Structure formats: C-alpha cells, structure tokens
Amino acid sequence: MVTRRGLLAAGAAGGAGLLVPAGSTAAGRTLAGTATLHAADIPKYVAPLRIPPAMPAVSSGPERDTYVIAVRQFRQQILPPSWPRTTVWGYGSTGHPGSFGYPAPSIVARVNHPVRVTWVNQLVDGRGDFLPHLLPVDPTLHWANPAGGNTDRDQHGHRDGDPRGYRGPVPQVVHLHGGHSAQESDGHSEAWFLPVARDLPSDFAVCGSAYDEFRSRFGERSSLRWAPGSATFEYANDQAPATLWYHDHTLGVTAQNVYAGPAGFYLLGGAGDLPDGVLPGPGPAHDDPPDARYHDIPLMIQDRSFTAGGDLLYPGGHSSPGTGSTIVVNGRTWPSLTVQRRRYRFRLLNGCNNRFLLLSVAAHATARPARPVLPIWQIGSDGGFLPEPVSHERVTLGPAQRADVIVDFTDVPAGTELYLVNEGPDWAYRGGRPGVDFPPADPRTTGQVLRFVVTEATGPDPSVPPEQLRLPAPPQLPAADRVRRLSLNERMSGPSGSMVMLLGTLDERGRGRPMRWSDPVTEQPTLGATEVWEVRNFTRLAHPIHLHQAQFEVLGRGHSGRVQPAAGERGRMDTVLAYPWEVTRIKAQFDLPGRYAWHCHLLEHEDNEMMRPLNVLPRGGAEAGGGGSLGTPPEAGTASTDVG
C-alpha cells in the first residue's frame, strides 16, 4: 500500500494536473511552463449550444425511478472545435458510458414519485489507481482531509511540499440543491467518500465523519447498504415542480470540485404544474430521438479560465476568489442557439463559483450600456412558480440561483441575431446598477453569454403568451414561531492579514458574533417549527445565502428588513441575496429532522468557513441560539473583528 509519504510521487505520476500554486489569487499566475489562454482570442458563436439530455435510468416503476450515477474524468470539447479539448469531471449513468458529460444529463423527475440514486466516486484511471485533483487544493483549510485518517478527517490538514497542495484521492458527495431531502440523502459535507482504488493509502480515511451514521440511517429505512466508494440517496420529490440542480458538496473543497465540472439539472415536473401546451415545450425527456427539437431548454451559465493547452485554470484562492475569463453555457464557450419565431422557456442557472450575473437580451453583443430589445418574462424562481409572471429588462442571478423564464421571439424577423449579455461585475458584487455603481463585465468576453439566431417557425406555437399566464401561487407558510437573528461578518485572519467571511449570530448589542463550522451549533429549530430569520450583513459584499432542506419566503430587505422583496423573489427560494449593510428577512418551515447546513454559496467563502450547521431537533428538544421572541429586533451595531 502507498503511504502518506508516497503521495508526492503518486500524485505527480497520474491524472491531468493543472500547475497552479495553491492559494493563487491572480488569474494567469502559474508555475513555469504553463501559459494562460487569453479569453479575447477565443472565437465566439462557432459551436451550437449543447442541450443536456435526460439521464438514463436503471429502472422506472410505480414505486420509484432508480439510477446509478458516477463521477468520472474525461476530455470534452469546451473550447471551439479545432481548439484543444479540456480534461474535466462529470456525472453519467454507469450503464451508459456515452452519457457522461459536463454538465451532466438532467435527472427528469415527477412530483411525489421518488427517485433513488446510487452515487459512485469513480475518479480512478484505467489501472484502477486514484486520480489526483485537476486543480490546486489547499490542505490547511478545515476540509475533508482524508490524509488525516479517521482521527483527523474533517479537520485542518497540513502541506506536504507540493505547490499544488493536496494530491491524494479526491473525496466526493452529491447535494441536490433545493431538494426537500431527508438528512441521510442531503449530501452532508462530512458524508464524503473516496473512490475504490488499488493504491489508496492504508492510513487514509476512506469516508467522512458523518458517512457511517447516514449509511446506517439509510439502511434502517430501506434495508439497503451502501457499497464502498458510493452512497445511495432517495429523493421523495414531495415539493412543488421546480428547476433544481445537483453538484458536489464536499467539506472545504466544493469550489474546486464544482469548478472541475460535476453538476447537472434536476427537473421536477408533474402534479402542480401547468397543463401540457400552456408553457413552451417540449424539454429533454427519456428516449428522445437524436433530432428532437426543444423549446424548454435548461441553461447552466458558468465562468471558466483555461491554459493555452486547454486545461482548466483555477482563477483564485479561498480568501480572495477570482472569476473566470470566459463564459461557458452548458459546457461550451459562447455557444449559439438557433430559435424559431415562437416562445421559448429557459431554465436559467447561475452555476458560477462566485460571479453574479445580470442578464438581458440585446441586439448588440458589445454595446454598453446594453439596451434590452426583448423582455425576459420570469415565471418561476428556485422553488417553483411565482404568484404571477414578471417582466424584466434584466434578470439578476447570484451563484446557485435559478430563474424560470420565457422569451418570445414571435415578432423578431427571421435572420436576426440577438445576444444574451451579462452586465454583472467581473469582481465582487455589492448591488447597484452596472455602469453607475460598478463597471460591468468586459463586453468583449465575460459580458457576452449566448447568441440567438432567429429563423422562421415550422409550425404553430400553442403556448400561452407570458403576460396572459395564470400561475399556481405557492401556498403560504404558517405564522412564525420565533425570530432568529443572524449575521454575516468579515474579519482579518492569519499573519497575511487576509479577509475571512463568517456566519454567526448577534450579541446583546446587535453586533455580529462570527462563528466557524466547528463552533457549537446555534441554529437548532424544532421539528415542524416555522421561523423568521433576520440576516444582517456586516460585510461589504453581497452574499447568496442558501438553506438546506427548506424552500423559504423572502419577507423583506433594507436597513430595517421591511422593504418589500422584488417581484421575482415572491415565490419560494432556497438561495437569497443578502446585500451589504442590510437586513434580509426570510421565513422557513423545518419539517424534516436531522443534520443540515446553511451557508454562503460563493463557493470559496463556503469552503473557507462561511458555512454553519443547521440541526432540526425532534419535537420537545431544547431550541438553541441566535433567536428571540417575535418582536422588534435590536438596533444593529458594527461588525465584530474577532471571533472571541
């Protein structure tokens, strides 16, 4: 067996490695011999949009649909044809080798019809040896830390001298983002598992500290045991139709794991949806013919940087994340989509690590300020339909947020070229207007997303114009049992003086009390409780705050938290933007017991301690932390600069 000491040689020998120092904070800073690909040199709109197909199932029956889905390493054409292929990771069906892709095929599910997925970590090479990470991993963070063995897993690790950081076998665990999932199927960050590889070091932990507990719980429910290198999750789908997504969620390395590629859509339809034909369709489904045409199209928008050889280039470190230099849609840089003169439904997902998107449809790709020429009609958000359609000139999406939208090309002359453009910033987002409060993204590169080429319709469009739609309003949540007052904080950390973002509670004077992942749990609602969370942002940045288990209502914003949310936020959400020096108020019901989490979905922040446990206690358990009776919150003070 290989030991911990042997990893330096083992890591150097296998896998597609990216030669970037761990903790690098500048795009393009690489080790000798690796050149950065300049995004402005990449031709745009030369490849068609790739539309992810439906994930093949092992079986479909009256009780559940069953899948076996692995993550593997492969090469894919992300840059334009004739340019180098890129080594990435992605999910696919183990019984269908051709299904693996970045992004992965979409899991197409039905409301109240369970889906059972066995997730398999197959990050091994053809010899059965583990593959090291494609990207630099900082082992000094509080992370999965397999090298620590069972005693020190899920703790801070140590450097071994390799400038790329940790080079051992890569842990994985999948989270269904937005899913109403039991704790053992939620993809808890400490329930990760390594691949089954012939050269696994004998002193490594092969799974996270929560894995055995959740394996046991799942076995009690289903009489099914998890095999080594895998975990089986079941999704009840007992929630409204919605556009969800699945991605890796391993403690302290989510940013690099997701950047490497493993993510896909989870499209939940069925009961509670609108009748067939009312909305544009069809979307991808099982057993579609190769020439199927879709009018309901998921769009995963991400930013990525590349080396001159086509490999992924990770653009930032944990304390100071950067953004990618290109825009990638459904796994291709700046693709083109031919649309007919009819209505289209787009499931927009901001799948970036930390880039905020401000999207509009414009006639000119580079003119700024962008002048929208078609409205974007939003009909749904993270958790399902809005109460009524909302017309936008520009849609704002933070990382992990989704918008279910309709764009009507009916009156656009055939031959017209239009562009989906982005005016979000190329660095940190604080809110405000592009060109006024911050410079918009570079219009030559990250300011462009997708080209539409309009053609004549080949048949009638039976869908209802978006302004005439009658949407099923989400049911109201019960009255709140309590108010929980929480904080987003920034503090200086370490001898380098880097800034660290932390979640926390409020002290008796209304000041932020920052906490880390390992600090005592403070968010512990009782089973069935409905709570109002008042999240005070004491930082200079906007943060997308995500709660596991719950789809919540946004109640208000602003200094008091009483400013009405935007019209596009009046449905159910699982990720909300908390703006600097404001109070963001949400209401959530916690109806599944167990261990969950809430965190910032800027992935580098999440990995660097901006995540806290969320434990739902059995009825009769003592509630804990950060709350108070319903009433007027205390006045906010200043942000604390010390954990204490």
Domain spans of the chain, in order of start: 52-269, 296-468, 482-616
Give the β-pairing of 296-306 and 343-350: parallel
Q: What are the start-end ranges of the E strands in 83-223?
A: 86-93, 107-110, 115-121, 142-143, 155-156, 174-177
Residue 87 predicted with pLDDT over 70: yes
- Sequence-ordered list of residues with C-beta below 8 angstroms from that of 517, at least 6 positions apart, any chain: 142, 251, 609, 611, 612, 613
Assigned CATH for 482-616: 2.60.40.420
What pLDDT sits at residue 3?
A: 36
What pLDDT sits at residue 622?
A: 54
Residue 111 predicted with pLDDT over 90: yes
The continuous run of DSSP H or E covering 11 comes out as: helix 7-13
The dihedral of CA 180, 183, 187, 188: what is its sign? positive
360: helix, strand or coil: strand
How does pLDDT run across 336-365, given as a tens digit for each residue? 999 999 999 999 999 999 999 999 999 999
Q: How confident is the model at residue 317 (pLDDT cuts 50, 70, 90)?
A: low
CB 620 within 8 A of CB 499: no
Q: What is the mean pLDDT of the chain?
A: 91
Mean pLDDT of 445-470: 97
The continuous run of DSSP H or E covering 546 comes out as: strand 543-547
Q: How confident is the model at residue 272 (pLDDT cuts 50, 70, 90)?
A: confident
Max avg pLDDT among 157-166, 203-212, 281-290 = 203-212
What pLDDT sits at residue 495?
A: 63
pLDDT above 70 coverage of the chain, percent: 89
Q: How confident is the model at residue 65 (pLDDT cuts 50, 70, 90)?
A: very high
Mean pLDDT of 2-11: 33
What pLDDT sits at residue 448?
A: 98
426 token code pair: 């190329």
CATH architecture of residue range(s) 296-468 = Sandwich (2.60)
CB 353 within 8 A of CB 603: yes
User: Which CATH fold would you assign to the domain 52-269?
Assistant: Immunoglobulin-like (2.60.40)
How does pLDDT run across 235-245, given as a tens digit for each residue? 999 999 999 99
Query: Length of the chain, please?
Result: 644
How does pLDDT run across 539-571, given as a tens digit for each residue? 999 999 999 999 999 999 999 999 999 999 999
Taking alpha carbons only, the member of 194, 197, 191, 190 closest to residue 205 is 194
What pLDDT sits at residue 631?
A: 43
CB 490 within 8 A of CB 502: yes
Residue 6 predicted with pLDDT over 50: no
* One fold for 52-269 and 296-468: yes
The dihedral of CA 402, 404, 409, 415: what is its sign? positive
What pLDDT sits at residue 321?
A: 60
Mean pLDDT of 428-435: 95
Mean pLDDT of 97-123: 98
What pLDDT sits at residue 315?
A: 83
What pLDDT sits at residue 122?
A: 98
What pLDDT sits at residue 499?
A: 81
Q: How confident is the model at residue 623 (pLDDT cuts 50, 70, 90)?
A: low
Q: How confident is the model at residue 163 (pLDDT cuts 50, 70, 90)?
A: confident
Q: pTM here?
A: 0.92
Taking alpha carbons only, the member of 566, 165, 563 closest to residue 391 is 566
Residue 273 CA to residue 243 CA, distance in Å, equals: 12
CB 625 within 8 A of CB 536: no
Mean pLDDT of 585-609: 97
